Amino acid sequence: MKPYDKKRTGKFIGWGGEHFVFAYDTDKVIKFSLHVWLSGRSAVEKIKTDYEIGQLYFAPYLLPTEILIYKNGHACAEIQPKIQCRFLEKKDINTPLIKEQFSDIMSRCQKMERETGWVFDLFGREGLFRFRPQRISNILVTPEDKLVLIDFTLLHLERIKARELPIWLIIQFALWRQAKLLQHFKD
Ligand SMILES: Nc1ncnc2c1ncn2[C@@H]1O[C@H](COP(=O)(O)OP(=O)(O)O)[C@@H](O)[C@H]1O
Ligand SMILES: [Mg+2]
């Protein structure tokens, strides 16, 4: 039995390279991870622990996420409130309210990296492969200019299975590229 209701699942909303996102009821979204589909239990565990770490370091910005686990721990779906949002763009950082939150997120990133050695995916797959992304696709801006993290994925794998090799390679690339790209947003 699946812990979510197929009949309540609506139209496809988006994909950032990892989660397939659909409407759920009128006010929520449901997300299915590609990594979970590829790796099962270890990826479900990662989603749980990543979210816990996210709550530890980024609580004021993290969108509440309900993680529904099924198939005996081998699959999961994530449910979140559906928010009105757009990607954070470099030019937004000129707005004082946004700048303040962005700097706060950056110092929280540094604190997490100092204390755990981990970094989270800010740009998403689509941003990372762009020549010079003008937006940070895992930081979203609401109409009230509040920054929200809808997608909190640590660029880290606990143990690497052979079939996770593509994901591991993307992570290595992302770590290198993100550090370079962020500089462009901090200038
Ligand atoms: N809670 C949400 N409310 C509204 N739109 C969302 C929500 N979560 C995701 N989306 C949309 O789906 C896209 C992909 O979601 P995301 O969680 O970033 O997936 P990925 O892990 O693939 O990057 C987002 O860019 C956004 O447009
Ligand atoms: Mg994303």
Q: Measuring CA to CA, which residue among 100, 106, 97, 103 is closest to residue 144?
A: 97
In one letter, which amino acid is 142?
A: T
Question: What pLDDT does 167 receive?
Answer: 85
What's the pLDDT at 71?
Answer: 97
How many angstroms is it from 143 CA to the middle of ligand 2? 19
Name the residue of 9, 12, 13 whose CB sits within 8 Å of the most ligand 1 atoms, as the mutation to test its pocket: 13
Which residue segments constitute the domains of the chain, with CATH numbers given?
A: 6-81 (3.30.200.20), 86-186 (no CATH)
Q: Could you count the other beta carbons within 10 Å of the beta carbon of residue 86?
A: 12
Task: Give the closest ligand to the alpha carbon of residue 122.
Answer: 2
Which residue ranges of the chain lie beneath pLDDT 50? none
Select from 13, 15, 19, 21 the residue to mutate for testing ligand 1; criterion: most ligand atoms less than 8 Å from CB: 21
pTM: 0.91
**pLDDT at residue 133, as a whole number:** 78
Give me the long-range contacts of 112-118 (CB less than 8 A, separation at least 24).
112/53, 112/57, 116/53, 118/53, 118/154, 118/155, 118/156
Q: Say how many Å lie between the CA of residue 114 and the centre of ligand 2.
A: 24
- What integer pLDDT is reported at residue 128 of this predicted model? 77
